[in-house]
């Protein structure tokens, strides 16, 4: 296989995997539809990216939940709301909703 053909094949696989990642990155993940964009060779790479994406989302949600829980405890302990905002990164408006 010529270098140009190899380069085109790699670029094509890269484009397909990126399309797959875009499909799974939306809030509604349609795995069956996303997998249709990949050939068998690319499915393992795509599935690994899907697993990583789901893990990252879970971590972000956990971190945000932890920030809100910490902020609630700080509010109950009568910390200054501006200090809580600075420490947790939550806005004063968000803190008012807790």
Q: Which domain holds residue 11?
A: 3-96
| pLDDT per position as a tens digit, 19-56 | 666 666 665 666 666 666 666 556 667 667 777 877 88
pLDDT at 1 over 70: no
In sequence order, the 6+-apart residues with CB closer than 8 A to the CB of 91 are 85
- pTM as predicted: 0.50
User: How far is it, in rounded angstroms, from Cα 43 to Cα 83?
Assistant: 47
Alpha-carbon span 7 to 49, nearest angstrom: 22
What average pLDDT does this structure show over 50-73? 87
Domain count, the chain: 1
pLDDT of residue 28: 61
């Amino acid at each position: 296989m010529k270098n140009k053909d190899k380069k085109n094949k790699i670029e094509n696989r890269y484009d397909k995997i990126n399309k797959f990642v875009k499909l799974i990155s939306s809030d509604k993940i349609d795995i069956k539809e996303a997998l249709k964009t990949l050939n068998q060779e690319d499915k393992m790479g795509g599935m690994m990216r899907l697993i990583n994406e789901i893990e990252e989302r879970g971590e972000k949600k956990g971190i945000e939940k932890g920030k809100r829980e910490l902020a609630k405890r700080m509010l109950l302990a009568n910390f200054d709301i501006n200090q809580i905002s600075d420490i947790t990164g939550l806005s004063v408006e968000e803190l008012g909703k807790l």
